[in-house]
Amino acid sequence: MKKIICIVLAMLMLMASAAVAEGTGLSITTGLPTTQPQRTMVVQLDNEPKARPQKGIASADVVYEIELYNGGYTRYTAVFNDTIPELVEAVRSARIVNVDVYSEYGGALVHFGARVDPDSNMYDYFNANGFTAELDGNNHNPVKTYPSAGGLFYRDNGRAAPNNVIGKLQQMYDMVDWSTLSCRSPLKFNEYPTIPADGEDVNRFQIAYRDSYTPSYQWDAAQGKYLRFYNGNPYNDGTTGAQVTCDNIIVQHVEYSWFGGKSEAPNVALYGTNSCDYFLGGKHITGYWVRDNIANNTVYYDANGNEMLFNPGHTYVEILKTEKNIEILG
């Protein structure tokens, strides 16, 4: 028996050595094996009804859904690393909160314009924090690292403005000087898919940001993944037509206020601490998150104070006002 164990361990060590020799590592955004360099593209995407289905979003490793207009209107901040699609649609403008999410990953920020009011100027915030890699379809930032990036955005004639901006993401990726950038991730992963020992069995749940802005998830045990729905319908990628799936959902509860009381200028408290709900492996567990400042990443904990490890794969993060709730459906 000991001889068999030694042979197995030797084989595993040889396999690991071969993987390293071939340049295989673990992705910082999915925890999956990859031969790609860690180069994150953080893209601001529209979520108005006429912007759906978003093209390329199934390739995103991590997707944040964030209320950007008071009343529950959301947009996505999508993080691409393992796979860079040729095109993404529909790219929209950015807010300060999107820079706060971007700072969790570094890399390049892709958007089409931004809020410029003095009390909530996204460009001023971006520049003041020492960030440089910005690819803006409107080129409104007075500090332009990639001014020619504007030529890599165009309008989709099959959709109406403003919900129709396409970004040539692969060409933007190739344009970026990656030697000047350091990429990171707030997520840490299990080595293998793991079902939490604690927690309750939850197969379906939804979050109602408002009418027509209601994401829901259903655990598919056969696939070992969550199926994503929107307003009760399968949430499909606009390029492939396939239903989007993910492996982890984080519902991150936050306090909201509004710069100058303006409904389109969210001041989202992504620093400090607040509660979290986690869904992975068909289980629901609770915990909390902590983030000190923009220089440090969010750390996710379970209710016992243990740092969370997520399952390898794709993650959706629902940024949710503390006064709103998750509805467990089954």
Phi and psi at residue 85, to the nearest 5°: -70, 155
Residue type, 67: E
200-328 CATH: 3.50.90.10
**188-241 residue pLDDT tens:** 999 999 999 889 999 999 999 999 999 999 999 999 999 999 999 999 999 999
- In three-state form (DSSP H/G/I as H, E/B as E, the rest C), the secondary structure along 9-32 is HHHHHHHHHHHHHCCCEECCCCCC
Within 8 A by CB and 6+ apart from 49, the residues are: 212
- Quick count: other Cβ atoms within 10 Å of Cβ 310? 21
Q: What pLDDT does residue 315 have?
A: 98
In this predicted model, what pLDDT tens digit does every residue of 37-53 receive, in sequence order? Answer: 999 999 999 999 999 99
Contact 31, 192 (CB under 8 A): no
**Cβ–Cβ under 8 Å, residues 269 and 254:** yes
Domain ranges of the chain: 33-180, 200-328
Alpha-carbon distance of 6 to 8, in angstroms, equals 5
User: What pLDDT is attached to residue 49?
Assistant: 97
CA–CA dist 282, 227 (Å, integer): 11
- Percentage of the chain lying above the pLDDT 70 cut: 93
Tell me the pTM.
Answer: 0.92
Is residue 201 helix, strand or coil? Answer: strand
Domains 33-180 and 200-328 share a fold: yes
pLDDT one-digit tens code per residue, 234-286: 999 999 999 999 999 999 999 999 999 999 999 999 999 999 999 999 999 99
Pick 33-180's CATH classification: 3.90.550.10, 3.50.90.10, 1.10.468.10, 3.30.430.20. Answer: 3.50.90.10
Q: Which of 19-33, 86-100, 116-130 has the lowest average pLDDT?
A: 19-33
**Burial readout 189-216 (b: 16 or more C-beta within 10 A, e: otherwise):** beeebeebeebeebeebbbbbeeebbbb
What digits encode the pLDDT tens for the residues 278-312? Answer: 999 999 999 999 999 999 999 999 999 999 999 99
